[in-house]
């Protein structure tokens, strides 16, 4: 048996510490911890890595503090179009959904598609219809909307009009949630969910629902979930690239993920971060922005969360 481990992120480009009240920062940290505990409960009960990452992501999708599900970004038409994917490292089974408009928990739709065993990816109205037929909870668009995302949309539209869009913070622009896990049977899994970036063009699809880019898992190697400027994650096929560096260059997971985030992606001047876990439970979470919502429970059972450079230990 393998000692399990789990790691999560809820977006890089965390805003300056003064951007939220201490109460809001604490609430976000508690939601990170709740997501980790949900996944850990699955793992310690002998459940699968797939079940664990799904459980963790559902908690973050339900939180208003992160850009997925409730609290998702608004596109240029002030509408929500949601993306998610999930992958198991054993048989490389995967499910991905994009441009969802009414599924409360997009990661559940991605998991249902994986279990159906047909197409790997569905989009738009067809994806919503599939989820409804699968019995998943459907909601009105208003469920996803929070005041913070409305304010971000207004701010970015104004910046676009003023020609100052390049000075927008990463926190104003985008965010994503994701999880990676190793279970007691040595299987790896990864899951990612997002609302995309604020003021994105209608119909835009980023890296989060693309297997190999924003989400990737391969038993015996690693599992990866990414966050940041998705167009560059797609071009670099980030999840698979990190896995390949581990598998073919024999790099440690921290070295492989660090190289892709801090060298390959940093050259573009864009925000980027990942969480990754290897086949024995080593976790890494590199990012090149001011901060990244992140956390992990290591095989020794220690729970840690962070938003900026500092890491806080919390009870299981």
Per-residue pLDDT band at 224 (split at 50, 70, 90):
very high
Q: Given 98, 145, 176, 227, which residue is catalytic? A: 176
Give the mean pLDDT of the chain: 93
Taking only the tens place, the pLDDT of each residue in 186-210 is: 999 999 999 999 999 999 999 999 9
Taking only the tens place, the pLDDT of each residue in 131-146 is: 999 999 999 999 999 9
Reported residue count of the chain is: 316
Domains of the chain with CATH codes: 5-314 (3.60.20.30)
Buried b (16+ CB within 10 A) or exposed e, 154-165: ebbeebeeeeee
Q: Are 30 and 312 in contact, with CB atoms under 8 Å apart? A: no
Please say if the pLDDT value at position 11 is more than 70: yes
Taking only the tens place, the pLDDT of each residue in 36-81 is: 999 999 999 999 999 999 999 999 999 999 999 999 999 999 999 9
Active site residue 176: yes
Taking only the tens place, the pLDDT of each residue in 91-110 is: 999 999 999 999 999 999 99
Please say if the pLDDT value at position 20 is more than 80: no
3-class DSSP state of 157: helix
Residue percentage of the chain with pLDDT more than 90:
85
The reported pTM is 0.95
Taking only the tens place, the pLDDT of each residue in 144-154 is: 999 888 888 88
């Amino acid at each position: 048996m393998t000692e399990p481990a789990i790691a999560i992120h809820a977006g890089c480009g965390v805003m300056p510490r003064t951007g939220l009240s201490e109460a809001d920062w604490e609430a976000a940290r508690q939601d990170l911890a709740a997501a980790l505990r949900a996944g850990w409960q699955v793992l310690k009960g002998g459940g699968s890595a797939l079940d664990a990452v799904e459980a963790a992501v559902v908690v973050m999708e339900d939180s208003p503090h992160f850009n997925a599900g409730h609290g998702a970004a608004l596109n240029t038409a002030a509408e929500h179009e949601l993306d998610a994917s999930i992958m198991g490292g054993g048989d490389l089974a995967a499910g991905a959904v994009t441009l969802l408009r009414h599924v409360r928990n997009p990661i559940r739709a991605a998991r249902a598609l994986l279990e159906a065993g047909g197409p790997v990816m569905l989009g738009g109205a067809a994806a919503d219809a599939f989820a409804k037929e699968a019995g998943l909870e459907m909601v009105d668009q208003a469920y996803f909307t929070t005041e913070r995302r409305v304010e971000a949309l207004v701010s970015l539209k104004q910046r676009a009009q003023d020609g100052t869009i390049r000075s927008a913070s990463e926190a104003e622009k985008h965010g994503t949630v994701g999880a990676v896990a190793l279970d007691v049977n040595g299987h790896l899994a990864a899951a990612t969910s997002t609302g995309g970036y604020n003021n994105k063009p209608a119909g835009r699809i980023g890296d989060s629902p693309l297997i190999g880019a924003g989400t990737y898992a391969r038993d015996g190697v690693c599992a990866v979930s990414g966050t940041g400027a998705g167009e560059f994650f797609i071009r670099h096929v980030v999840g698979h690239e990190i896995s390949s560096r581990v598998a073919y260059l024999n790099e440690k997971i921290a070295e492989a993920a660090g190289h892709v985030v801090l060298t390959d992606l940093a050259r573009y001047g864009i925000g980027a971060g990942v969480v990754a876990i290897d086949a024995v439970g080593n976790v890494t979470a590199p990012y090149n922005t001011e901060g990244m919502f992140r956390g992990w429970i290591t095989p020794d059972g220690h729970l840690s969360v962070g938003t900026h450079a500092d890491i806080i230990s919390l009870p299981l």
